[in-house]
Amino acid sequence: MEQLEEYIRGLKKNRFQVEYFETGKEFVDYAIRNLPTKASIGFGGSMTLEQLHLYERLSEAGFNIYWHWRNSEIIDMKERALNADIYFSSANAVTKDGKIINMDGTGNRVANTFYHHEEVFIVCGINKLVETVDEGIARIEQIAAPKNAQRLGVNTPCVVTGVCTDCTSKDRICNVLTIIEKNTNSNINVILIGEELGY
């Protein structure tokens, strides 16, 4: 907990709103109680959000959600998410001094994390907490990106070896690296959860 408080202090110093929940369920219940019912909500691709069943729980509660991982027959789902009032994503890493690190293939997810929304929620399990930016990038190369490439079944060397070789494959999923250093006009909330979530 002492360690966790350092991360919370670091994030707050960077003007992010921070909430901590022991369990994902506690966070989901909190979100249902506190999100504005009339707001439109966009989701970025995220195993964390998937594991939390956040789409299903918010949908059952009557929220209007745009997620390209659901309703994939609707071709403009990413644009609808882009234009939503609120956006949910996870992070690939959060540093002790309060920086949010993400890697993306097409860039839609990361762009939505800092621009164009009234409010953004970055949901992050404790497995994503790292000491430094370098450690966060190493975490992406060694864990998050190879696992995501395997999940997507793309044609990259890491799918076979589980190791990043900084490939030049046309299927490469590591094209846009973002480090959010301070809060933006998108009013970013970091939700820390005391469980392992996502990659």
For residue 168, report the phi and psi dihedrals to the nearest 5 degrees: -115, 20
From the CB of 143, what's the least distance to ligand SF4, in Å?
A: 10
Taking a C-beta distance cutoff of 8 angstroms, is the pair 92, 128 a contact? yes
Smaller CB distance to ligand SF4: residue 117 or 128?
128
Of 34, 52, 21, give the one whose Cα is nearest residue 43.
52
Q: Which residue has the tokens 């070896």?
A: 161
Enumerate binding residues for ligand SF4 (CB under 6 A): 141, 145-146, 149, 156-158, 164-167, 169, 172-174
From the CB of 78, what's the least distance to ligand SF4, in Å?
A: 20
Smaller CB distance to ligand SF4: residue 79 or 141?
141
Residue 25 identity: K
Smaller CB distance to ligand SF4: residue 8 or 177?
177
DSSP string, 174-194: --EEEEE-S--TT-EEEEEES
Structure tokens at 97: 């001094």
Smaller CB distance to ligand SF4: residue 149 or 191?
149
From the CB of 59, what's the least distance to ligand SF4, in Å?
A: 32
From the CB of 175, what's the least distance to ligand SF4, in Å?
A: 9
Of 68, 71, 69, give the one whose Cα is nearest residue 79.
68
Smaller CB distance to ligand SF4: residue 159 or 191?
159
Smaller CB distance to ligand SF4: residue 145 or 193?
145
Query: Any idea what DSSP says for residue 68?
Result: T
Residue 102 belongs to what H/E stretch?
strand 100-104
178-193 in b/e form (b: 16+ CB < 10 A) is bebeebbebebbbbbb
Structure tokens at 1: 């907990």
